Structure 1
Amino acid sequence: LMMKILLFTSAVTLCIHLSLIIVSPQYRGVETAGIEVGPYLQNVTDTSITIMWKTGAETTSNSVEWGTSMELGNTTMGDAGGVWHEVKMEGLEPSTAYLYRVRSDNTESNIYSFHTSVGKGEPFTFVAYGDSRGVWDNWQHASLVARGISDAQPHFVINTGDMVNQGSSEEAWLSFLQVSDFMHNTTLFPAVGNHDMPVSAFTTYFSLPGNEEWYSFEYGDAHFIVLNSVMPDVLSLGQFIWLMKHLHTDAQWTIAVFHYPPYSSGKHGNTTLLQFLWAPFLERGGVDLVLTGHDHIYEHIYVHDTTYVVTGGGGAPLYDVGKSDWTVMSTSAYHYVRIDVNVSAIRVTACMYDGEPIEQFDVPPNNEKEGIYSAVASFVSHGY
């Protein structure tokens, strides 16, 4: 009997000890700071780039190792702590290929690559696409488009908005960033869409120029203007004044990017407000190409001597497409748009997600380089 009591007591003691191991913090293993998202590239210039990533737990040390060979050889330290990490490398050489990896505590990423911006007179390629939100099919179509973009090997990528279905959901943003694995090696410049709102959520996951809500950047012979077309920010006087200042540049080409299309033959149709608010100034201010999304289609439009492209086939459910008096070509397909730019031409190639061409054309230059005051005068005289 005494032996049974001793065995029972020992068993109870063991169970209590095991329960303490399970529930007591001093017995828990430390959470690992494994890399959950990224690294991904942001805000590339001719001499700098920003790299972001997320770890599974807070860290004590974060850095980027980089160089022009597999030995890397350079290290830029980031801030300690937190799970979201952002490191900016400066003093880089223009138009140069680099290799890099990130390190958080004892965890390191694979080695990836990036390329600093090319200079004036140098050709470059970028890809535009939009409406990649893929909750409805577990991101399957968005993943196919992302793979096609990666295969195209552009210098950078533009997203015309609606990257996620619900901007306030961190889970949605994590899914988008994980699916968009081309961002390991290619910078993404996004425009905010209505599904990406609020702006405070959108800017959490990106490091962009200016105030990040609307911004511009130079690349080669092109000046890019990225706007917020979502209510109520589309009515911002500050954004409008900023736009007027950026319409008059010395760049050979000017390209505007925003979410809502002034002209579209898709389900949502034309955005009348933007036909009045922005389009006349873009058209008379010398913008050569306008890239938009929102309608889940591809459409090439030419109106008032300006080329508009609706590219919203990045992963969301496709819409039926019609045709307007301005439509050059339209189709309902999962796609991306490859754009080759040099000092004398912009060539647009719309591609199915697997790279099969849909359409190819050269953008006619918009010679209405009138500046702010001439654009306003044209607005009044043409009765827009």
Structure 2
Amino acid sequence: MLTIVKGPYLQRPTTETMTIMWETSEPAAGQVDLWASERIHSGHRGNYKPPERLVSSVRHAEPATIHRLALRGLEPGTLYFYQIYAENAAGERVQSGPHPLKTAVPRGVPFSFTVTSETGGYSGFDVTDGRINRNIFRRMGQYRPDIALFVGDLVNDGHRYEDWETYFFGPGKEFLRSTPFYSCLGNHEDHAEWYDAFMDFPSPRSYYSFDYGDVHFTCLDSTEWIPSASYPHSAGEIRPGNAQFDFLVRDLEAYDARWKVVFFHYPPYVSGGYQVEDLRQICPLLERYGVDLVINSHTIVYERSHPLRSGQVDEEGGIVYLVAGGAGAMPEWLLPKREWHTSQSLAVPHFLQVTATSSRLEIRAIDEEGRLFDSFRIRKGNDGKKTYD
């Protein structure tokens, strides 16, 4: 019997486009219908009328199990509703929806995003039978973010097909069908083919960048620079001439965004196990091009650094490094005492909720029970100078 195995879920949000993906149990033709939304003054469907006006319909007739359909010609920062359909050769038909989607906001418009990681990386230590994953996804959904970042280790073994449902798409089903997400490669993904099959990230996919509102996001693949054979040391690739290094230079140089956020899996700064100091080789580059925030994972804790520049605390222009190893907690991985670069640190299951405006980034760390346990702001004036509080 034809069924929807994964999704639907959202990828590649821009001010004018959105990609819808899902997986079916057997090859089938796919279709997405997009409907206009209309606000009303009642509680029905979150103050929106049921979809009535069809805006667009996209179909692929070639049977597939993993479906990827792009909607185009949309309006910026606009809420729509979408519905997916699939039909196999025997005429069996399944559908899902309507579900809400919101296109990316343009520059100058505030937005919010959430961050977590280790939905699969923590699984070997998890005695809660997946409760932490379910709680983290549910709590993130309560904040209604525009997008989400996952900082690697979505699964325990990227080569094992079942892991993608068990640790990520299953517990995140409700959240992911209305929240576009991006991810970087962790060591547990191990560059598996399923990562490419289930995602639709910008080329070359293992590292890429995108804009959303006033933020330019750059995703890096730290597992390429720190391969398992030489971990925790680099294989000598973090230098000019390396494709990813040259991409990073071009990317940071080309985009004059109000805010620059870089995310990758291995942390260059954390007062715990699994700190990867070799990745500090890119810190001068991040500093030179005005990166404001770096988000990492791998060490399954929360940690926030002081603003850092040139290997020292710099309260006027430094970069804050956040470790958001959220979907789990390994307190035994923390060092007995904090390092000099550590501002706040705690090993609890958590996620980050970030609000971005043209003048500030406001970051909150929230545990799986919904309790706030750390927060800070980065403010930026018209002269580009930063303050932290």
How high is the TM-score relative to the length of structure 1?
0.83
Contact 1:131 1:316 in 2 (8 A): no
Per the TM alignment, residue 368 of structure 1 is displaced from its structure 2 partner at its CA by 12
Look up the SS of the partner of 1:78 in the other structure. strand
Superposed displacement of residue 320, structure 1: 3.8
1:365 to partner: Cα distance: 4.9
Residues 65, 72 of structure 1: 8 Å contact kept: no
Quote how far apart the aligned CAs of 1:246 are: 1.3
Which residue of the other structure, out of 36, 59, 77, is the alignment partner of 1:77?
59
Give 1:298's match in structure 2, choosing from 294, 297, 302.
Answer: 302
1:196 aligns with 2:201: no
Deviation of residue 229 (structure 1)? 0.2
From 31, 43, 54, the counterpart of 2:23:
54
Unpaired stretches in structure 2, ≥5 consecutive residues? 38-50, 88-92, 228-233, 310-317, 385-389
Q: Which one of the candidate residues 213, 216, 222 is aligned to 2:215?
A: 222
* Alpha-carbon offset, residue 316 of structure 1: 6.7
Contact 1:301/1:329 (8 A) holds in 2: yes
Superposed, 1:143-182 pairs within 5 Å as 143-175=134-166, 176-181=168-173, 182=175
Counterparts of 1:178-257 in structure 2, within 5 Å, are: 178-181=170-173, 182-232=175-225, 235=237, 237-248=242-253, 249-257=255-263
Other structure's SS at 1:82 match? strand
Whether 2:349 is the aligned partner of 1:334: answer yes
Distance in 1, matches of 2:57 and 2:358, equals 36
Q: Is the 8 A contact 1:34 1:55 kept in 2?
A: yes
SS of residue in 1 equivalent to 2:198: coil
1:377 alignment partner in structure 2: none
- Listed one character per residue, the Cα deviations across residues 97-154 of structure 1 (whole Å, up to 9, x for unaligned) are 0101110011111321111010111000001111111544442211111111111110
Question: Matches of 1:91 and 1:179 in 2, distance apart?
Answer: 32
> C-alpha distance in 1, partners of 2:328/2:161?
19
User: In the alignment, which of 82, 85, 96 is matched to residue 100 of structure 1?
Assistant: 82
Sequence identity percentage = 30
> Match of 2:131, as an amino acid?
Q
Q: Tell me which amino acid in the other structure corresponds to 1:362.
A: R
Once the two structures are superposed, what CA deviation does each residue of 1:232-274 show, in whole Å capped at 9, x if it has no partner?
5773701100100111221100000100011011221x21110
Shift of 1:317: 5.4
The CA distance in 2 between the partners of 1:366 and 1:253, in whole Å, is 12
Contact residue 254 and residue 286 of structure 1 kept, 8 A = yes
Give the secondary structure class of the aligned counterpart of 2:136. Answer: helix
Following superposition, the deviation at residue 366 of structure 1 comes to 11
Higher strand fraction (1 or 2): 2
Measured after TM superposition, the shift of residue 50 of structure 1 is: 0.6
Aligned residue among 301, 305, 324 for 1:311: 324
CA shift at 1:155, angstroms?
A: 0.3
Q: For the residues of structure 1 that align with 2:250 and 2:381, how far apart are their CA atoms? A: 18
Give distance in 1, aligned partners of 2:63 and 2:203: 26
Rounded to whole Å, the distance in 2 between the matches of 1:306 and 1:81 is 48
In 1, Cα distance between equivalents of 2:172 and 2:261: 23
Moved more, 230-239 or 259-268: 230-239
The Cα shift of 1:75 comes to 1.4
Aligned residues: CA RMSD? 2.0
Instruction: Name the residue aligned to 2:230.
Output: none
Aligned partner letter, 1:241: D
Partner of 1:343, secondary structure, is: coil
Aligned to 2:90: none
Tell me the secondary structure at the aligned position of residue 14 of structure 2: coil
Q: Runs ≥4 in structure 1, deviation > 3 angstroms?
A: 134-138, 231-234, 315-320, 364-369
The offset of 1:350, in angstroms, is 0.6
**AA at the equivalent of 1:157:** A
For residue 76 of structure 1, what is the amino acid of its counterpart?
A: V
Q: Which structure 1 residue ranges, 5 or more long, are not aligned?
A: 1-31, 370-384
**Residues 367 and 279 (structure 1), Cα distance of their counterparts in 2 relative to 1, 3 Å cut:** farther
Normalised to the residue count of structure 2, the TM-score between the two structures is 0.82
Residue in structure 1 matched with residue 114 of structure 2 by the alignment? 127
The one-character-per-residue Cα deviations of 1:140-179 (angstroms, maximum 9, x if unpaired) are: 2111111111111100000010110101011101221111
**CA–CA distance in 2 between the matches of 1:132 and 1:84?**
22
